[in-house]
Structure 1
């Protein structure tokens, strides 16, 4: 079943007609990485303290769709959608605002492609008798204000961490085996499948800044100084720049229903398209 799901997610992304940029002459997003986590992993309950009490567990997400007591165990399917080389190249040369192609890709991924993949995957799994829910598409999903900035009632990045797809960086972005220039997605299903292991030693293990105290390349890439060595990532400054009124105006000028996004700190850095912690392990191995 896991291999069937992996093949389905890959097909739904790679063969999606909307996942193509004429100006880049290639896809916006390449083949995904797909992992699985137990829906009853204790980390999901821990997120109510780490993120906030508003963050839902897989059980809560499932029972919101199918009724109290409907959960009998299940699995969170999480996947990473890596940016294509052309898309990364287009954004890497930018210093103040994202590339036109990235704005188009952001709109595509946030408004269309991601939901299509989630919806289609759940429909295919229903044919095998499995029920599921996409938390990001649920009517209870929302962005909330927290003491540290904007948060959400379901975090795709945290689901990816539980599934062993990667860890977090100084800029709060997710560093996977395909690097940081990625988009994450997930669904919750009632099939109990074997979980993938979390190989990382900590939730920040893939970030060179936390591993060595050096790097910090993402700091220089941020056009509004929203990242620092001492305080990390300022969500409020970041959100206003990437998703505020000026960003929406830029998107409109580019013929896209905003915002324009940003993600400049996710390219032009050692973790752009790889997990840099592997080089540390190789260096320290006798």
Structure 2
């Protein structure tokens, strides 16, 4: 038995392995960007601009409300009466919302990340956090996928919807809503395909997103700002919802009352804000959302 005993005392000479590891990292960087994914990234950017344009146009015809004290959004004229307000800091929870006029950023949640000079650059340190521009995560993903976003209209600004024209005829509303919904679906599908090739990380506590093979070291994690690790992020693999938040809202069906109430909240369905906005403008909703929306469900009598 002693002759088959394995010796575990062998040591690894990291000084000899270091050049081999660095060589493999440099060789890996030559495989990117993947040529077959460049048209996918270009289509994602195109769909993103169409989505922003479409949402901004629909907001001139379909009213939305947002809560003054929490992120709740209602695609309706006067909001709803469901007691789901989480309040501001230590204020009372599960109260009625205080509604104000919403805007496009309440529908299309901006998700920003650091803009890297190249995909395999050194990890961003905490003292370098102001040396890198913050850009929309989708645009950064498409940039790393090989799309040139240096020209005008690249979508780096999240305020592009404020510069779009509002002269839309009422007869065109349904077609605009349908194009907007198709752009939403195409963008999410394209982002999903890109994330199969290009790594994206998200903090499991504060939802900070980093597009790259490893996260950054900027200490910006809010929940643990004053803990022992001083705001370091805890990274995990991101999903499509981390880059394109669906922003669920209550869905009002034809059989529901004009204003949704607390008593019937168990009967009401939900839908992503973009889907609900387009549905109220006359777009045909994909079947995969009907279960979530409880389209054929009962209502409280």
Fold shared, TM-score > 0.5 on shorter chain: no
Whose strand proportion is higher, 1 or 2? 1
Structure 2 length-normalised TM? 0.24
Structure 1 length-normalised TM? 0.25
